[in-house]
């Protein structure tokens, strides 16, 4: 059914996959994935972690680069003007909230780093890593969809990457913001699809550093 956005040509064009993909994993640390913590109780995030684990297994099997981040602070002076109360205590370097979720993190394979702003790109070494790997396609997973995932999608788009978002590999505190933000981003910046479609793309890769096989 047509709507005002489609009538104005939003979403008229697809992005498509490139030849050198990488998967970025936004904030799948225990503070967001472990029910012991206030931000770790969303069933939507838990489902996204499970699906992302499957996606990453397929990505690593094809030598697709994987970069992941964690949120944390060195001191109170490092904390931005976050309006999320629990982020102001218990989220310092070494606290349990900052441990990566083992279901999605492979320390022997993944490039992992700290961030202290919403986007996985802002103030981090991610761009240098992607450039070294000659990446042209960024596949965004993680949480929360309406915050750090959306910011990462916009930055990936702004840096000129093809942006792909497997919807079932992202999660939020509630379903409505997850859906509405992905709908909006899908109109403007990225292709939103199911993780099965992304894994089918991985299966077409040659396996040599994630390079797409010749048709």
Residues of the chain falling short of pLDDT 50: 1, 215
Tell whether omega for the bond before 151 is within 30 degrees of 0, i.e. cis.
no
Q: Is residue 211 part of a domain?
A: no
**Closest by alpha carbon to 115, among 139, 86, 157, 82?**
82
To the query of whether residue 185 is one of the catalytic residues in this protein, the response is: no
Residue 8 in any domain: the answer is: no
Residue 209 lies in a domain: no
| pLDDT attached to residue 1 | 47
The C-alpha angle with vertex 138 and arms to 167 and 191, in degrees rounded to 5, equals 45
Q: Is residue 212 part of a domain?
A: no
Contact 168, 47 (CB under 8 A): yes
**Do 124 and 69 touch, CB atoms closer than 8 A?**
yes
pLDDT digits (tens, 9 = 90+) for 9-43: 999 999 999 999 999 999 999 999 999 999 999 99
Establish whether the linkage from the previous residue to 108 is cis, with ω within 30° of 0: no
Closest CA to 137 of 24, 13, 17, 15: 17
**Number of domains the chain is built from:** 1
Phi-psi region of 152 (alpha: psi -120 to 50; beta: other; left: phi over 0): alpha
- Domain encompassing residue 94: 17-203
CB neighbour burial string for 29-50, b if at least 16 within 10 angstroms, e if fewer: bbbbbbeebebbebebbbebbe
Inside any domain, residue 12: no
* Pairwise CA distance, residues 137 & 179, whole Å: 22
**What is the reported pLDDT for 97?**
98
Q: Contact at 8 Å (CB) between 198 and 166?
A: yes
pLDDT of residue 211: 80
pLDDT, position 206: 86
Q: What is the CATH number of the domain that holds 180?
A: 3.40.50.850
Asked, for residue 190, whether it belongs to a domain, the answer is: yes
Answer yes or no: is 56 within a domain.
yes
Through-space distance between the first and last CA atoms of the chain, rounded to whole angstroms: 35
Contact 186, 10 (CB under 8 A): no
pLDDT score for 214 = 54
Instruction: From the candidates 69, 148, 170, 190, give the one annotated as an active-site residue.
Output: 148
Q: How many Å apart are CA 9 and CA 114, to the nearest integer?
A: 38
In a domain, 198, yes or no: yes
What pLDDT, on the 0 to 100 scale, is given for residue 2? 62
């Amino acid at each position: 059914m047509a709507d005002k956005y489609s009538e104005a040509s939003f979403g008229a064009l697809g992005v498509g996959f490139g030849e050198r993909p990488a998967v970025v994993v936004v904030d799948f640390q225990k503070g967001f994935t472990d029910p012991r913590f206030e931000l770790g109780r969303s069933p939507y995030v838990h489902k996204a972690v499970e699906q992302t684990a499957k996606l990453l297994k397929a990505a690593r099997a094809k030598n697709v680069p994987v970069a992941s981040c964690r949120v944390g602070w060195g001191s109170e002076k490092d904390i931005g003007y976050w309006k999320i109360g629990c982020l102001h205590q218990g989220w310092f370097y070494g606290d349990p909230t900052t441990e990566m979720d083992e279901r999605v993190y492979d320390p022997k394979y993944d490039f992992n780093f700290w961030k202290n702003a919403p986007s996985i790109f802002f103030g981090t070494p991610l761009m240098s890593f992607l450039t070294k790997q000659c990446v042209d396609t960024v596949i965004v997973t993680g949480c929360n969809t309406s915050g750090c995932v959306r910011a990462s999608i916009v930055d990936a788009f702004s840096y000129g990457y093809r942006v792909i978002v497997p919807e079932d590999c992202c999660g939020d505190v509630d379903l409505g913001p997850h859906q509405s933000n992905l709908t909006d981003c899908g109109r403007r910046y990225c292709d939103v699809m199911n993780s099965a479609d992304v894994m089918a793309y991985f299966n077409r890769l040659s396996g040599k550093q994630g390079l797409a096989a010749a048709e």
